[in-house]
Amino acid sequence: MHIPDGYLSPLFSLATGAATVPAWTIASRRVNAVLSHRMIPLLSVFGAFSFTIMMFNIPVPGGTTAHGVGGTLAAIVLGPAGAVIAVSIALIIQALFFGDGGVLAIFANGLNMGVLLPLVGYGSYRLLAGRSPLLSTRRVWAAGIGAYIGITAAALAVGIELGVQPLLFSENGQPLYSPYGLAQAVPAMLLAHVLGASIVEALITAFGVAYLQKRHPEYLVSLRTVFAGPDVAEGVATGRPLWQLAAAIVGGGFVVLAIAGLVTGGGDLSRAFGADWAQVDWASVATMLLVVAVLALILLPLAWLLAPRRTRGIVTSFVAAALLAPLGLIAPGFAYGEGSTEDVRAAFGYVPKGLQQLSGAFSAPLSGYNLPLPFFSDANAALWQTALGYELTGMLGILVLGAVLYGIGRLLLRAGGPSSPADQPPSR
């Protein structure tokens, strides 16, 4: 869903800033008004969470890949304003350091994933949850469905933005930027998410809320912002063990995705999701999985032992997600609308003029999540080396993002002064 440089006209990209910048400004003021010492680390945690989720690409219908964002879950805990800030800063760092999304397209990507997604997702969640107890099962369902709606709305926005480019910016009958028209871009984005990434986003959010209800219910009741509605009864968390909820959610998600893959592949497992899985070097994949398993056996127990007692589960989950992120490298194809100029040439027989000129406008230091070392970034590097570089740069990004958000929070809190209302106990 990250739009790279060259797919949007610079003029169009700047125009999206007319909506994004005011949203960022309002969100910053809202966050500053409710900021507390307790909220600062949560901003860092959910910014890092969103960054991690966006690294994890999955195969989706159409032979392409997509990813979740985690914006709705962030909004449920931090409030919509906090989610806007956390996800937007994650997107900016991805663009500047990792080349994930264009620098010229920051306003557009910020609008789609950093503003539209959490606002629509949170609004849908509140509407579906109504005045049900915060620890009720209905809240888990509402969170999952709200997240599904939120990311699907963001995908629709991306499809429209890409699709109008040929209508607005053409030369001699050929598009200057994105070559995908509305008839291609909108259905492709919706199909990829409705039957793929949106399901993953819903599962992540539903399990996240269920986990917080079980282990950290205070995060669901004590960080309300001015966006939140009236108090509701807290209720009692479901008595079902957390591992059963996790198994049900993961198992159900796997079944749904498997069915979607088979249906879109015409019942042929080798063509699941419309991709050609015969292209995959399964021997290299086996080696990569072995390396990932060895790292997991070392790092997961270490993370559990070194993490503070109250956050062991969260920290270990983050490490596990970062370790598993390279699994997305297995899927053949590339994310719709995010291909290189050569990918576009192969699909259309030419590369639009504007795309040629802007695709290399900025070179991120860790582009493609590759360490700038021969062992990792060599074009002929083995898959396990690429996966290892992906993991290491991803963990570096998580640390950088967490530090940036924590630093911003501390500066804002210091600017607010000791008498800031953010340090007062929340109303119940």
Q: Which two tokens stand for residue 164?
A: 């109008």
pTM: 0.87
pLDDT at 154 over 80: yes
CA distance 151 to 146: 9
Q: What pLDDT is attached to residue 242?
A: 64
pLDDT-above-70 percentage for the chain: 89
Beta-bridge partner residues of 143: none
Question: For residue range 94-123, what is the model confidence (pLDDT) as tens digits?
Answer: 999 998 888 999 999 999 999 999 999 999
Backbone angles phi, psi at 106, to 5 degrees: -60, -40
- Which of 374, 410, 376, 380 minimizes the C-alpha distance to 390? 376
Q: 240 pLDDT band (50/70/90 cuts)?
A: low
Give the pairing of strands 64-66 and 170-171.
Answer: unpaired
pLDDT at 422: 42
pLDDT value, residue 22:
97
Separation CA 91–CA 111 (nearest Å): 10
Q: How far apart are CA 96 and CA 422, in angstroms?
A: 31
Q: What are phi and psi of 60, to 5 degrees?
A: -135, 165
- Say what the pLDDT of residue 9 is: 94
Lowest mean pLDDT among 25-39, 147-161, 164-178, 291-305: 25-39
In this prediction, residue 248 has a pLDDT band, given cuts at 50, 70 and 90, of confident
- The residue ranges of every structural domain in the chain are 10-278+397-419
Model confidence over 38-47: pLDDT tens digits? 788 888 888 9
Could you give the 3-state DSSP secondary structure of residue 387? helix
Q: Which CATH class is domain 10-278+397-419?
A: mainly alpha
Question: In the structure, what pLDDT confidence band is assigned to residue 339 with cuts at 50, 70 and 90?
Answer: low
User: Does residue 153 carry a pLDDT above 70?
Assistant: yes
Is 83's pLDDT higher than 90?
yes
Q: What are phi and psi of 112, to 5 degrees?
A: -70, -55
Reported as half-sphere exposure (CB side, CA atoms, 13 A), residue 221 has a value of: 15
**What is d(CA 20, CA 101) in angstroms, rounded to the nearest whole number?**
16
Q: How confident is the model at residue 58 (pLDDT cuts 50, 70, 90)?
A: confident
**Rounded Cα–Cα distance for residues 149 and 151 (Å):** 6
Q: What is the mean pLDDT of residues 285-305?
A: 91
For the stretch 366-394, pLDDT in tens is 888 888 888 877 777 888 888 888 888 88
The percentage of the chain sitting over the pLDDT mark of 90, rounded to a whole number, equals: 33
